[in-house]
Amino acid sequence: MPDPAVPPTPPVPLTALLAREDLALRQLAGPPAEGVVIHWVHTSEMADPYPYLLGGELLLSAGVHIPEAAGPATAGATTYFDDYVTRITAAGGAALGFGVAPVHDTVPEALVAACAQHGLPLLEVPPRTTFSGVARAVWQLMAQARLAELRRVTEAQQSLAAAASRPDPVPSVLRRLAQRLGGWAVLYGPEGTEIARAGREPGNEVRGALTRLAEVVRPAGGPGARPAPASATDTVAGSHLASYALGTGHGFVLGVAEPERAAGDHTIASAAAVLLSLLTGEQQSGTGAARSSALVRLLLGAPPEEVAPLLGDGPWTVVHARPDGDGTPEPLAASALGAALGSALVDPAGDVVRVLLPAGRAPAPLPGWTLGVSAAVAPHDWPAADTEAARALARARATRTPLLRHGPRPALADLVPSGEAAAHAHALLAPVAAHPALTETLRTWLSLHGSWDRTAVALSVHRNTVRQRIARCATLLETDLDDPDVRMELWFALRRI
């Protein structure tokens, strides 16, 4: 019989099933329940269940298949039950549950003896417990175990992400991983040397085996070399070993040794490998150091045009993004957005995520996000581009457009000297200039052709608030906002402030 196919669900300890008071199951024979797990439940009244078992089952039977020749007072009982139990164990069955009533009043003694001889746990299922009730209990325990596993993996991933944001990210991730797995974690460099490690160090035998296992996943150089696997596992001296190639292309490998391999450990270690891939990739490429250098120079007063070459080739665009629906985007979602746009320069500012990226990386619409994109600008115009992206996002949300770009073009207003245009704008808008909310509402309302509803969406306010503000603007400006000439002049002025 080949090894049973392990299902993607967590196994259920037999002890947990026996502890269910509502089932009242009782073990009559076989090894202690502490070392037995159940992968699924199968009911069969076949005299030979072997062809119908996958392995790991709790097989349930009411003894309908037992012939009269194998009755309790017959000589053939021992032979029949010995063959029956032999076939179950050969198929990889985990345990046998025998239902008392309606066919049999008690569990046949010959069946108890056969299970004891072959090491198959035998459970007595009382008359008040149905087989479907046993199966339902197993599925419930599996669901509980799966939920606990998912919660454990989620908490571990969150703690690893937090460790990656510390000033010493690589050692912090290794320490957190070792704590979560209760073992030892080590980062091997391209030459196979231990760069960093954390946790309780194993013995020399395990340590040497893990070093050799790391070479299994390390990319081999040279043309035509066989591709290395992404991960490898082994068991040495009672320790479970695993190695993970970090996707940097530079030969870094994560090694893990733990005394016990629990469900979800591979997922947790894989998450750590992804984080370490990003961290070691930045270390090799220098992008992390370049961003740090750019930030320090800005804080110390360097102009943007001097800092920009450290971040990449220009010109630059600014993207403002908001997730569809309500709520503030999570930091991980903001980072994923930056990765999708091709930039690590991400600022989660409240309910809007701002991304600075080279103009050559033209953003495309992204599912679940609304984007406003500025025109391509030089570094000294970054603040103006930030304003353009904000206004483009507001219009995109108001018009329900996934992505809207700011597209300046020559216009009639460009014929007026900028100084005179600015002076006229400030004089015309002086009555509302002291009220930024009124100015921005008027600007948005005019850009959306006087639509109350779309302006309300763009500004995240109620439409009545828009009406009140526009009415207030009309009063302060002492003008008729229904006049298209007035609207045109106000729009001209608003673009100059």
- The residues, ordered by sequence, that sit 6+ positions from 80 with a Cβ below 8 Å of its Cβ are 66, 67, 69, 70, 110
pLDDT tens, position by position, 199-249: 988 899 999 999 999 999 887 654 444 567 888 999 998 899 999 998 755
Report the pLDDT value the prediction gives residue 94, as an integer from 0 to 100: 96
* pLDDT band at 34; cut points 50, 70, 90: very high
Report the pLDDT value the prediction gives residue 378, as an integer from 0 to 100: 87
pLDDT tens, position by position, 127-172: 999 999 999 999 999 988 888 888 988 999 899 998 888 777 888 8
The amino acid at 168: D
pLDDT tens, position by position, 362-405: 788 888 889 999 988 888 888 888 988 988 898 888 888 899 98
- The residues, ordered by sequence, that sit 6+ positions from 23 with a Cβ below 8 Å of its Cβ are 17, 125, 129, 133, 134, 137
For domain 312-405, the CATH architecture is 2-Layer Sandwich (3.30)
Which of the listed CATH numbers 3.40.1390.20, 3.20.20.70, 3.40.30.10, 3.40.50.720 matches domain 12-140? 3.40.1390.20
Residues β-bridged to residue 186 = 197, 255
pLDDT tens, position by position, 186-197: 998 877 888 888
In the chain, what are the domain boundaries? 12-140, 165-285, 312-405, 412-494
Query: How many other CB atoms are found less than 10 A from the CB of residue 386?
Result: 16
Report the pLDDT value the prediction gives residue 297, as an integer from 0 to 100: 75
Residue length of the chain:
497
Which of the listed CATH numbers 3.30.200.20, 1.10.10.2840, 1.10.760.10, 1.10.1660.10 matches domain 412-494? 1.10.10.2840
For domain 165-285, the CATH architecture is 2-Layer Sandwich (3.30)
The answer to whether the CB of 48 falls within 8 A of the CB of 67 is no
Report the pLDDT value the prediction gives residue 3, as an integer from 0 to 100: 45
What is the reported pTM? 0.48
pLDDT for residue 110 is more than 50: yes
